Amino acid sequence: MQQALGIYGGTFNPVHFGHIALARALRDNFALSEVRLIPTGVPPHRTPDISAAQRLEWLKLSLIGEQNLVADDREVRKGNVSFTFDTLTELQQEQPHSLLVWLIGGDSFAHLPSWYRWQELLEMGHLVVANRPGFSKLPAEIAGEFAKRHAEASPQTLARGKISVLPLPPMPASSTLIREKLARGEDVSDLSPIAAILQQSGLYSKNT
């Protein structure tokens, strides 16, 4: 079996149980020896209200005790706009013999044509799509690419230029929901592994 490296990027604003479940599912479904979770430093499409360094710290805390799930700080260290194309290119240069298996949400997949050099992205590794709202209503351009490149989610199907759907039901947790609940002073212990830290920080409260 070829060497493969899992990649899961996002703002993680803040990290929640759904993020961890998706990273585990990526690792387990494709028998990956490592999955790198990469917090975005400066996202090209939106600006988080929490610093990249803080989001990275929270992610590291959430991964304590998780096997083969690693927080990667490369985009945070850059301090400028982070494009997936550049990050994948850098990772491939570091590990030229590894197939990059990179995960995005179904909602992001639907908007992939707005991403920097998106058509080239599809050739840079094996793309895995998480089943999230928005995935069932793909624009024609993306639906065509999916039909052409689709492969079942298993170690045996891993190949550059293929697209698989992670066989995991949509997660009830979301960063948006956590931020809304924290702003209302509500408990989020069922949504995030670092709920107590988030609540104590006060960073999402209405008064900050």
The predicted-structure confidence for 153-208, as pLDDT tens digits, reads as follows: 999 999 999 999 998 877 778 999 999 999 999 999 999 999 999 999 999 987 54
CA–CA distance, 63 with 15 (Å, rounded to integer): 10
Partnered with residue 5 across adjacent β-strands are: 100
CA–CA distance, 113 with 3 (Å, rounded to integer): 29
Is cis: bond before 14, omega within 30 of 0?
yes
Alpha helices in the chain (DSSP H): 17-29, 52-62, 74-78, 84-94, 106-110, 118-121, 140-149, 175-183, 195-201
> What is the mean predicted confidence (pLDDT) over 12-20?
95
Q: What is the pLDDT of residue 24?
A: 96
pTM of this prediction? 0.93
With tokens 């929270």, the residue in question is 58
Other Cβ atoms less than 10 A from the Cβ of 61: the count is: 13
**Per residue in 112-142, is it b (16+ CB within 10 Å) or e — as a string?**
beebeebeebbebbbbbbbbbeebeebeeeb
Rounded to the nearest integer, the mean pLDDT of the chain is 92
Domain 4-171 falls under CATH 3.40.50.620: yes
